[in-house]
Amino acid sequence: MNISLQNIGRRFNREWIFRGIDYTFKNAGKYAVLGANGSGKSTLLQVLNGSLAPSVGVLKYEDFGKDIEHGEIFNLLSLAAPYLEVIEDFSLNEMIDFHFKFKKFKVGMDKNAVADILSLDGSRNKLVKYFSSGMKQRLKLALAFCADTPILMLDEPTSNLDTQGIDWYLSLVEKFSENRLTIVCSNQEHEYSFCPNRLRIADYKS
């Protein structure tokens, strides 16, 4: 799965957030989108995942030479981000069931395995609204990592995680990012240290 950008730009009102991006995110590669807070990293990620249209330019999805329609890309990606909400009135079991109505489990995974990864076997019927901010972030990450999609997008993945949580995140990266196009938006090196390819938003400011 490749994502190609040709002269991509996005603006709000008259202000350009970024412009002139010519770049290809290649199949199974590991990419970091870097920039300061408020620089436009999340905006670019939303353009890449189809939730925002570019103001100019051409965005193309391609899977082994076959063009993918923009409306289909949701089925091929998993996303974890601070602004992505979980359904707080669901229990953990219900949240997992709901998520995997839309995505397939990775091979070898099921609802029990996801709960095991979260170390919440005794809290399966606990409502998500009673989880700490760190546990909600772990839940978002586990759902994204454990879905069988060729694209994995992570925006500030260790938000609200402590040192132990960061180590847990890196263990998921090692286990579940293999052979997936992985894009991490970050300004913290520990979140993207495994990404050899790096795009800096500052290079595309007008």
Domains of the chain, first to last: 2-204 (3.40.50.300)
Tell me how far apart the alpha carbons of residues 178 and 164 are, in angstroms, rounded to a whole number: 22
Q: Which pLDDT score, from 0 to 100, does residue 122 have?
A: 79
Interatomic CA distance for residues 81 and 119, integer angstroms: 21
- pTM for this entry: 0.95
- Kind and range of the H or E element at 166? helix 163-176
| 78 burial level (CB within 10 Å; 0-12, 13-18, 19+) | buried
Ranges under pLDDT 70 in the chain: 206
Tell me what pLDDT residue 138 has. Answer: 95
Pairing of strands 2-12, 15-25: antiparallel
pLDDT of residue 65: 82
14 Cβ contact partners less than 8 Å away, ≥ 6 residues apart: none
Q: Please tell me the predicted confidence (pLDDT) of residue 206.
A: 67
